[in-house]
Structure 1
Amino acid sequence: MVAMRDAADWVGRKEERWGCLTPELAGMMSAAVSHPVSLPRDTRRGSLLPRLWHWAAFPEFVPLSQLGTDGHPKLGDFLPPLAFKRRMWAAGRLSFTGSLRIGERLRRKSEILSVTPKSGGTGDMVFVTVAHQIEGENGSFVEEEQDIVYLHIPDRFTPPKRLPELDTPDFDETVEINEARLFRFSAATYNAHRIHYDLPYAQEVEKYPALVTHGPMQAILLMETAKRHTGVPPKRFSFRGVHPMFHTHDLRLQGRLSPGGKSMELGTATPEGYLGMTARAEWD
């Protein structure tokens, strides 16, 4: 572990990796996020890579001995090894130029932009912001920033303040959530974080009431919904997790298109009417 006074030394650290979303991985992702009203997808080589699916193209092939007790790869290689037991993907901002393809070779260049300590209702935390640029073979690319939050595991689960669902949404659709969907998404993204599939660990160690629904899966569902309701994939997309969502309830996908049709406010909501994730899609 490194002390916070040394965390600034990690700012500017860079990494470069190569990856590919193969047709087989694309098929796994399609099965994980499909629901009755989702778009049909062509997962053959050369087909358009749906936006955000590049998240499955760079799996971390670390041996079991290099996994932490939570199932994440141990820290200290690229991300700073701070003294917090919980690490989560909190938010992201992306812009898209051109279209990547299934089966093409991708290059991802990453850099740590900031390491920022904060204090909130859940106690001390640290936000690590990472920039990625994902480039395809033919000039298409994605520019992305990810906010990763480090937290202490509490003695008991105390939910954050609930934000109400969207007012007067243009659509409100329900996606079934269960253990099988969470397992499939974990498998497609090679994510061994145990809060998504190991119920005793999620409840007894991390103090969640149930298995946690993946934030990236929620973002992908919202992105697909934005495209489905407009017919055009967004040029920019941002999202932020505001409340954990669990396998014990389904997800509602909500959206409200702006009057000019150039942006859409989005959110995942519970049956009870509070948000798990907020998002914004932009076309101009």
Structure 2
Amino acid sequence: MEHSQWIGKTQDRAEVITEANAARIAATLNEKPPVDGEALPLLWHWAYFQDLASTEALRTDGHAKTGDFLPDAGDRTRMWAGGRLTFVKPLVVGKRAQRSSTIQDVKEKQGRSGSLLFVTVRHEYLQEGEVALVEEQDIVYRAVTKAVVGEGDPLPDAEWSEEIDASPTMLFRYSAVTFNSHKIHYDWRYVTEVEGYPGLVVHGPLTATLVMRAFCKFAPDSVVRSFAFRGVRPLIAGDTLIVGGRVIESGKASVWAGNQGGVGQVGEIGFD
């Protein structure tokens, strides 16, 4: 099947936003867990609606084999490149939610490491028949080549910032709570010997969640309306993770994450 023929494919899932799973995320992030009836903190929804592929259906990198909902990417490894989210209303803990997903775009491009397959998936999350969250997720598949982790742009001047120990333990627990079996986050031998990183790679969604948390601490009375982010450089466990940002105009903040080697993720938050 041509990659373009995957555009428009859909998938529907439903599950309860359980208090128990929210408590596991809270423990991973050293946060107070929300209880039934309370709002799920922003971006914690990534711990729900997971692909429950059997162990025998996983590829050598730990991801589920493609070719069902997502386009067939062969033996290329998968990375979460970024995304865009619109927050309509909070997801509520203890209530059933639905996610409707659609393949929005598929493109093949040539990069420095060879052919890259870009897939954009649009998700709509609903509770009680009303849309709570709309998300566009950018996934990139690339050939398994030795990764290059160079220096990034210097961290910008920040209006707020926070240093976080993104330890292997935190990465392992986040992988567990999001049911993410990608080996670059927990398998030292695989990530260093096969993919060529200098250490375990911090999850893009985990990084984005920590960036969002830092903003919400800075502006606790603000209502976040949108968030767009993209990875620009891998961030490695063991290096102190620095998240921060600054308000650049009314209702808009520039945010980022990085380490002493430079910026690794950039984003923008829209808020009231």
Q: What is the CA–CA distance in structure 2 between the aligned matches of 1:81 and 1:160, rounded to whole Å?
A: 30
Corresponding residue SS for 1:258? strand
Q: What is the CA–CA distance in structure 1 between the aligned matches of 2:72 and 2:24, rounded to whole Å?
A: 31
Q: What is the CA–CA distance in structure 2 between the aligned matches of 1:116 and 1:18, rounded to whole Å?
A: 29
Conserved 8 A contact 2:26-2:33: no
Structure 2 residue aligned with 1:31: 27
1:31 CA drift (Å): 1.6
Matched, 1:163 2:153: yes
Given the superposition, is the C-alpha separation of residues 71 and 258 from structure 1 closer, same or farther in structure 2, using an over 3 Å criterion?
A: same
Structure 2 residue aligned with 1:275: 263
Q: What is the CA–CA distance in structure 2 between the aligned matches of 1:105 and 1:210, rounded to whole Å?
A: 38
Q: What is the CA–CA distance in structure 1 between the aligned matches of 2:258 and 2:199, rounded to whole Å?
A: 17
Corresponding residue SS for 1:61? coil
Corresponding residue SS for 1:235? strand
What letter corresponds to residue 246 of structure 1 in structure 2?
I
Q: Percent identity?
A: 35
Matched, 1:263 2:259: no
Structure 1 spans left out of the alignment, 5+ residues: 35-39
Structure 1 residue aligned with 2:63: 72
Matched, 1:211 2:200: yes
Matched, 1:94 2:90: no
Conserved 8 A contact 1:100-1:140: no
1:223 CA drift (Å): 1.1
> Which is worse superposed, 208-217 or 132-141?
132-141
Q: What is the CA–CA distance in structure 1 between the aligned matches of 2:241 and 2:150, rounded to whole Å?
A: 18
What letter corresponds to residue 128 of structure 1 in structure 2?
V
What letter corresponds to residue 144 of structure 2 in structure 1?
I
1:121 CA drift (Å): 2.6
Q: What is the CA–CA distance in structure 2 between the aligned matches of 1:161 and 1:85, rounded to whole Å?
A: 25
Given the superposition, is the C-alpha separation of residues 140 and 99 from structure 1 closer, same or farther in structure 2, using an over 3 Å criterion?
A: farther
Q: Counterparts of 1:1-284 in structure 2 under 5 Å?
A: 6-34=2-30, 40-137=31-128, 139-154=130-145, 156-159=146-149, 162-166=152-156, 168-231=157-220, 232-260=222-250, 262-272=251-261, 274-284=262-272
1:271 CA drift (Å): 2.2
Q: What is the CA–CA distance in structure 2 between the aligned matches of 1:111 and 1:159, rounded to whole Å?
A: 32
Given the superposition, is the C-alpha separation of residues 138 and 111 from structure 1 closer, same or farther in structure 2, using an over 3 Å criterion?
A: closer
Given the superposition, is the C-alpha separation of residues 233 and 41 from structure 1 closer, same or farther in structure 2, using an over 3 Å criterion?
A: farther
Say which structure is richer in strand.
Answer: 2
Conserved 8 A contact 1:20-1:58: no
Structure 2 residue aligned with 1:37: none
Normalized against structure 2, the TM-score is what? 0.95
What letter corresponds to residue 264 of structure 1 in structure 2?
A
Q: What is the CA–CA distance in structure 1 between the aligned matches of 2:44 and 2:24, rounded to whole Å?
A: 11
1:42 CA drift (Å): 4.0
Task: Report runs of 4+ in structure 1 exceeding 3 Å deviation.
Answer: none
Given the superposition, is the C-alpha separation of residues 100 and 29 from structure 1 closer, same or farther in structure 2, using an over 3 Å criterion?
A: same
Normalized against structure 1, the TM-score is what? 0.91
Q: Indicate the RMSD between aligned Cα atoms, in angstroms.
A: 1.5
1:151 CA drift (Å): 0.4
1:85 CA drift (Å): 2.0
What letter corresponds to residue 121 of structure 1 in structure 2?
R
